Amino acid sequence: MNKPRIIIIVGPTAVGKSQLALELAARINAEIISADSMQVYRYMDIGTAKPTSDEQEKVKHHLIDILYPDEEFSAALFKQEAREVTSNVDRQGKVAIIAGGTGLYIKALTRGLFKGPGTDPELRRTLIKKAVLAGNDYLYKELSELDPVTAARLHPNDSFRIIRAIEVCRLTQKPLSEYHEKHSFKDSPFDTFKIGLYIDRKYLYSRIEKRVDRMIAIGLVDEVKCLLDMGYARDLNSMQGLGYKQVTGYLMGEFSLDDAILQVKQGTKRYAKRQMTWFRADPEINWYAYPYDYPRIIQKTKGFLEA
């Protein structure tokens, strides 16, 4: 049997992945699967740049608003859910477009995951306590010393994966990156066309700053306040996301709103740089300057689907 054909759109935050996914979906009878580790959470709309209700009405989206903020999500769960959705979409005679900037999720979907060593509940509790008392930066520095390769591909605020990586190092005396290298990720259930979007860094940073300003203008502070009022603790993995962590600090009186906004902008720029480092390492990605190469993207996408 032929493998399902899927379109994957990747690139740094604010580059235009969601917009391209919507435009492509309208042209090729497709549905969109979000590969964003934050858009899975309910009540977190503004800070995650979630597609609007109008956009979700125009094109069916999947893996958005499927969890509450105090529930955990992972690459393994994404792989399971996204593969099921993709199979359903394919059976309907449609194309699945996977769009998002969480590189590990894309890798899990297209190449699989390795089965790592077990967990140590006591060690994990100790590491979680360290994260709460000393901050995520403390754990990120520890991981950088134990496994710099894994640290380089993780966000410093991604406490869940940082803790898991440290746990693997402590339990096995081997870095997580070594396990990844040995696994080689040969699982290949789809025929894929990977589209990578890029724009000039200066322009990208300008777009990031404008996006953050717009998030504040349309109510990010109120969104975070509502989450805290609902009882969602600031140390939850979801609340460590860009925008949510910094605005929480502002609401807790730790710094001014201007400082919080500056931190969000700086953090988002660093995150965009790490995303490009991750995606540049994938030789299967076809890179396009967006929106300038839009006609070429359409041409190549149709050629892939018709081949």
CATH number, domain containing residue 176: 1.10.20.140
| Res 119: pLDDT | 80
| Res 187: pLDDT | 66
- pLDDT tens per residue across all 307 residues of the chain: 588 999 999 999 999 999 999 999 999 999 999 999 999 999 999 999 999 999 999 999 999 999 999 999 999 999 999 999 999 999 999 999 999 999 999 999 998 887 777 788 889 889 988 888 888 888 999 999 999 998 988 878 788 789 989 999 998 888 888 877 765 556 678 999 999 999 999 999 999 999 999 999 999 999 999 999 999 999 999 999 999 999 999 999 999 999 999 999 999 999 999 999 899 989 999 999 999 999 999 999 999 999 8
Q: Are 150 and 246 members of one domain?
A: no
Q: Are 69 and 129 members of one domain?
A: no
State the total domains in the chain.
2
CB-based burial, 264-303: b 16+ in 10 Å, e otherwise: bbebbbebbebbbebbeebeebeebebeebeeebeeebee
Please report how the helices 201-217 and 257-280 are oriented relative to each other, as an axis angle in degrees rounded to 10. 140
Q: Are 199 and 220 members of one domain?
A: yes
Residue 4: closest CA among 102, 101, 93, 100: 93
Contacts made by residues 179-188, CB under 8 angstroms, sequence distance 24+: 179/114, 179/116, 180/114, 180/150, 182/114, 183/113, 183/114, 185/107, 185/111, 185/112, 185/113, 185/114, 186/111, 186/112, 187/111, 187/112, 188/3, 188/110, 188/111
| Res 158: pLDDT | 80
Which of 141, 165, 183 is the last residue before a domain boundary? 183
Q: Are 76 and 22 members of one domain?
A: yes
Q: Are 193 and 94 members of one domain?
A: yes
| Res 262: pLDDT | 98
Q: Are 217 and 266 members of one domain?
A: yes
68: tokens are 């509450």
Which of 142, 165, 183 is the last residue before a domain boundary? 183
Q: Are 98 and 211 members of one domain?
A: yes
Q: What is the CATH classification number for the domain harbouring 246?
A: 3.40.50.300
Which of 144, 165, 183 is the last residue before a domain boundary? 183
| Res 94: pLDDT | 96
Domain that holds residue 136: 121-183
| Cα dihedral 273, 98, 24, 7 sign | positive
Residue 12: closest CA among 130, 142, 155, 136: 155
Give the number of other CB atoms < 10 A from CB of residue 184.
Answer: 10
272: tokens are 């965009």
Beta strand pairing call for 95-99 and 191-198: unpaired
Q: Are 46 and 106 members of one domain?
A: yes
Q: Are 95 and 244 members of one domain?
A: yes
Q: Are 13 and 107 members of one domain?
A: yes
